[in-house]
C-alpha cells in the first residue's frame, strides 16, 4: 500500500566524480582526444584503400561505437563539473541506460568478431577471403548491433519496472542500471535477473569467443618455425589483444563482481576507465601499434 501511494521520482541527482580542477581538465582533454581519435580513425579507414579489409571494417565500427558510448556519458559529466545542479531527468536517465547498454554490449561482440577475424587470418589463411567475405562481415557487424539493441531494450524494460520513491541520489556520475537497482524501492528481482543474465549470457559468451580464438591463434603461432614468422603473426593481433584486455577486464569486473559499500569508490574509477579511458585508448592503440594504419597516416 505504501508503495502505491509513493511519489515517483522525476529527476535524479548525480554524484560528482571529482572536484579537483586538474583532474577535471584532464578528463576534458581526454574526451577531446576520444572524439578526434575515433573520428580520425573512421575517416582514415574510409579514405585509405589499403585499409578496406575485414579487420579495418570491424575497427571502423568499433571507433563508431566508442564515439557514441563516450558522447552519451562524458559531456554530461563535464557539464556537471561547472554546474551547481548536477541532475538528470527520469527520461534522460532512461535514455542513458538504453544507449550506453546498447553500445557497450555491441562493443563486446565487435571485439569478439575481431578476434574471430584474426583467428581465420592466422589459423586458416587459405579460406580467409572466402569465409570473411563482405557479406559475412556485414552480417557479423549487424548481429553485434542487434545483440546490443537486445541488451539495451532488456535493461530499459528492467528499469521501467522499478519505482523510485526514496532517495534520488545516484552514487555515480551517470545513469547505470546497477546503482539504479540499488536505489529502487520496489521489487528488484526482475531487474537483477535481466542484469545478471545479460552480463553472463552476452558478456561471457563473447569473452569465450575471444578466449577460444586466441588459444587457437597462440597454438598456431607457436608451431611456426621461424622467429620472424612468429613475430609477424603476433603483431597482427597485438593491438586487438591489448584493447580486449582493457575493455573486458574493466567491464566484467564492474558487472559480475559482488557489490559492497566499501567498493563504491573503486566502482567510480572503474566506470571512468571504461567510459572515458577505453574509448580514448582504442584508436591510439591501433594507430601506434599497427603498421598499416601508420603507413596510411603518412600517406
- Going by pLDDT thresholds of 50, 70 and 90, the confidence category of residue 262 is very low
Q: How confident is the model at residue 272 (pLDDT cuts 50, 70, 90)?
A: confident
pLDDT score at 2: 45
Cβ(143)–Cβ(109) below 8 Å: yes
First to last CA, the chain: 69
Q: Mean pLDDT over residues 13-31, rounded?
A: 82
pLDDT of residue 103 exceeding 90, the answer is: yes
256 near 199, Cβ under 8 Å?
A: yes
What is the reported pLDDT for 1? 42
Going by pLDDT thresholds of 50, 70 and 90, the confidence category of residue 254 is low
Q: 196: pLDDT confidence band, cut at 50, 70 and 90?
A: confident
d(CA 280, CA 9): 34
**Between 5 and 9, the higher pLDDT residue:** 9
Do residues 113 and 140 lie in contact, with contact meaning Cβ atoms separated by under 8 Å? yes
Statement: residue 207 has pLDDT above 80:
yes
Gap between the Cα atoms of 215 and 98, Å rounded: 34
Considering only 38-42, 156-160, 265-269, which range has the smallest mean pLDDT? 265-269
Q: Contact 134/231 with Cβ under 8 angstroms?
A: no
257 pLDDT band (50/70/90 cuts)? low
Does residue 250 or residue 196 have the better pLDDT? 196
pLDDT bracket for residue 193 (50, 70, 90): confident
What 3-state DSSP class applies to 89?
strand
Under the banding of pLDDT at 50, 70 and 90, the label for residue 175 is confident
> Is 294 or 194 the better-scoring residue by pLDDT?
194
pLDDT over threshold 90, residue 145:
yes
The pLDDT of residue 236 is above 80: no
pLDDT-above-90 percentage for the chain: 21
Given a contact cutoff of 8 angstroms between Cβ atoms, the answer to whether 110 and 145 are in contact is no
Q: What domains can you pick out in the chain, each with its CATH number?
A: 11-298 (1.20.1070.10)
Amino acid at each position: 500500500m505504501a508503495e502505491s501511494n509513493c511519489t515517483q521520482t522525476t529527476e535524479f541527482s548525480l554524484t560528482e566524480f571529482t572536484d579537483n580542477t586538474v583532474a577535471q581538465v584532464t578528463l576534458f582533454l581526454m574526451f577531446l582526444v576520444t572524439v578526434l581519435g575515433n573520428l580520425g580513425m573512421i575517416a582514415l579507414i574510409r579514405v585509405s584503400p589499403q585499409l578496406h579489409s575485414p579487420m579495418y571494417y570491424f575497427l571502423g565500427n568499433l571507433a563508431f561505437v566508442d564515439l557514441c558510448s563516450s558522447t552519451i556519458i562524458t559531456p554530461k559529466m563535464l557539464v556537471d563539473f561547472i554546474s551547481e545542479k548536477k541532475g538528470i531527468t527520469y527520461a534522460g536517465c532512461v535514455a542513458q541506460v538504453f544507449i550506453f547498454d546498447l553500445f557497450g554490449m555491441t562493443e563486446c561482440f565487435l571485439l569478439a568478431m575481431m578476434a574471430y577475424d584474426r583467428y581465420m587470418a592466422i589459423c586458416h589463411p587459405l579460406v580467409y577471403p572466402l569465409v570473411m567475405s563482405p557479406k559475412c562481415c556485414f552480417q557479423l557487424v549487424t548481429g553485434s548491433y542487434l545483440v546490443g539493441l537486445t541488451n539495451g531494450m532488456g535493461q530499459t524494460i528492467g528499469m521501467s519496472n522499478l519505482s523510485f520513491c526514496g532517495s534520488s541520489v545516484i552514487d555515480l556520475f551517470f545513469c547505470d542500471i546497477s546503482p539504479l537497482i540499488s536505489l529502487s524501492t520496489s521489487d528488484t528481482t526482475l531487474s537483477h535477473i535481466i542484469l545478471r543474465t545479460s552480463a553472463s549470457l552476452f558478456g561471457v559468451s563473447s569473452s569465450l569467443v575471444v578466449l577460444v580464438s586466441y588459444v587457437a591463434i597462440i597454438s598456431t603461432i607457436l608451431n611456426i618455425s621461424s622467429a620472424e614468422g612468429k613475430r609477424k603473426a603476433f603483431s597482427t593481433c597485438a593491438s586487438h589483444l591489448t584493447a580486449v584486455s582493457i575493455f573486458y577486464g574493466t567491464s566484467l569486473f564492474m558487472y559480475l563482481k559482488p557489490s559492497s559499500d566499501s567498493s563504491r569508490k573503486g566502482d567510480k574509477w572503474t566506470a571512468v576507465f571504461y567510459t572515458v579511458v577505453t574509448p580514448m585508448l582504442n584508436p591510439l592503440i591501433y594507430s601506434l601499434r599497427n603498421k598499416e594504419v601508420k603507413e596510411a597516416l603518412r600517406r
